[in-house]
Structure 1
Amino acid sequence: MNDIDPKALFRLSVLGPLVSREKLGRGELQQLVRQLASQEYAIPGSRRRHIGEKTWQAWYYAWRREGIAGLADKPRADTGRSKLPEPVQAAVLSAKRENPRRSIRQIRLLLEAAGVVPRDTLSRCAMHRLLQAHGLSRIAGPTVVPDEKRSFVAEHAGSIWYGDVMHGPTLSLGGRRMKTYLVSLMDDASRLIAHGAFCLAETALDIEGVLKQALLKRGIPRMIVVDNGAAYRASTLQAICARLSIRLVYCRPYAPEGKGKLERWHRTLRDQFLAELDISHIRDLADLNARLWAWVEQVYHRNTHSALGNQTPLARYQQDLPRIRLLGSLAAQLDELFLHRVARHVRRDGTVSFQGKRFEVPYELTGRTVLLVVDPHTATVRRVESESGQPLGAATELDAVANLTRRRRKPLPEPASGEPAAPGPNLIELVHQRHYAPES
């Protein structure tokens, strides 16, 4: 018996909700296909996690026509044959053999310049298949020698953390379908998850929130390796790391192998946590994160890893506790380190705006540009600073009703000498004394 194509087996397994039904009612196919397309899958031989609705329909009808054989990949009918004219084939092969470092684009430009083919008529795919059939598709020469890559591991826990974001499940929250994102920080030496949390976005603010909890739980790493996404390039995140003497290192674009251990963690989480997760019990994001943290601390951290010499991540991390940089006295200042500063212009009534609310600041700041010091995680305003970081006073939320009975005055300038100013002449009193004051 011939072996069944593994891809066909995978396609049949995910088609279960469709093929297990003897009959589909009107509109049911489209509804089921839409539901299946919104989920994530571990697709063999691919890094993609989603399957489009048209692909689901094509697989379903192929299974209806041919059974499981219809789900296997079909070989191309023109395999091994080229549709290019013989003279063009000979010119392409000759150009490649003459200079193996020539790319398909360079060969096409050469043949167009030589008048072998008209401009923009030579198919790149046809050229690639022709070169591949003759074993010439790979560019040779020193320019394509791959970069040397070596497996490594940090010598001590707390030396290197990796940060990344993974797409999580879609939840129904408040009557709306909302996508979640898992933000994680992993220790290189121990594979321990310093902290991770599902968020409703993948912004710098979400990443900073996870970093703050990781620091409280696991100390201060010496280096954090992240990708080149805009969220990781945020100036606020860079400033936090600079204040804590953490090196923030960015992976090269299109080089995910730089964080291979974190990619392996994502696969473990998909296979063991998301595959087992019962979304019917999830009412909000807090429910989802509570289950994540329970699984991480009680299951993942306590299972042995062959890469750790059959130690658990928790035991490997605890082995290096004396070397971990603990927060110590910085713990009391941690909230301060994560505050944001936003520039605002003080209005004529002595107020500034932040996230749709108005705040009163010292009235003498009217007309100036100041920095509001805010806690971005609670959307609260702490105080006002100058652009150089000097404290300028408090910022309190505007109470317009109370202001009805309270008059605010701009303070008078103090005398230059620092002594109380003597009262000057008063015109009214002078006129009164001269013309109407009773004679003594």
Structure 2
Amino acid sequence: MSHANATLTPRTRLRLAQLVVDHGWTYAAAAKMFMVSARTAKKWADRYRAEGPAGMLDRSSRPHSSPTRTRAGLVRRIVRLRWRHRLGPVQIAGRLGMAASTVHAVLTRCQINRLSRIDRVTGEPLRRYEHPHPGSLIHVDVTEFANIPDGGGWRYLGRQQGRRNQEATARRTGQRGRDYRPVIGTAFVHTVIDDHSRTAYAEICTDEKAATAIAVLRRAVVWFAQRGVTVERVLSDNGSAYRSYAWRDACAELAITHRRTRPYRPQTNGKIERFHRTLGDGWAYARPYESTRQRDNALPAWLHFYNHHRAHSAIGGRPPITRLTNLPGHHN
């Protein structure tokens, strides 16, 4: 395919060459008609004589040889430093004694010039996947957030005031741990996210036991069904709740195929891990809350914003809910 600024397309080159070769036009006359130089007209006419219409097609501008190109062994060393140590062009150039611009050119050619394309744990290029339609796969997991003492926590008030608020809360509730330290407690947020649409469902619970996880799954299946989505598969990590017989039986009852990630490979469940980070930034730590109840009450509104209004970069800058309108058979 010709580039955007090409004066002659393959078809126009053929017309020009045929005027010169088959109809006896001069190079200057043919060049004037197509508004190119006589040298260009001669080039295409010569190719037409030698190769016929096939010679009018685009060719690669890559040279036959590149004697100054970076050696293959040096390229492997650059890639190894990038993958294993996540170094930038300047740091790699300093280690190898070469120009940073050369290192950057090698990283770009190998498509690892952006660290976001490299797995943080393994150092290998990311392998992204997406299931074909909503409900084909949902991800489930649990994330934890510390409860907030009366008056607010240390993140916004500082550690000294945060400790005072913890003490005041413990005097009110009577919850004490070892060494008489105040116990504020933990909120277990059970999250469910659809792989195709990124539509999310979440509940705040007091534990992460199997019975709680199963109850959340049942309610999530109903929630998705109300939006026209039938859940077919579920992917979880290897937590005790998801390895239990009760979870296995519940999935069988709901006609859902259960899959687990490989041990010590949270990247496999990366969509929900990334959602947890968004959940923390957008809801849990978004503003100073004066109590756990206030934070809990803010979750439904934030989930509505996430699903219906927040632009998601992985699905073309659209809200997740927009992908639930293109279900198989929806417009039949």
TM-score by length of 1: 0.37
Structure number with larger C-alpha Rg:
1
Higher RCO structure (Cα 8 Å, ≥6 apart): 2
Quick check: which one's helix share is greater? 2
TM-score by length of 2: 0.49
Quick check: which one's strand share is greater? 1
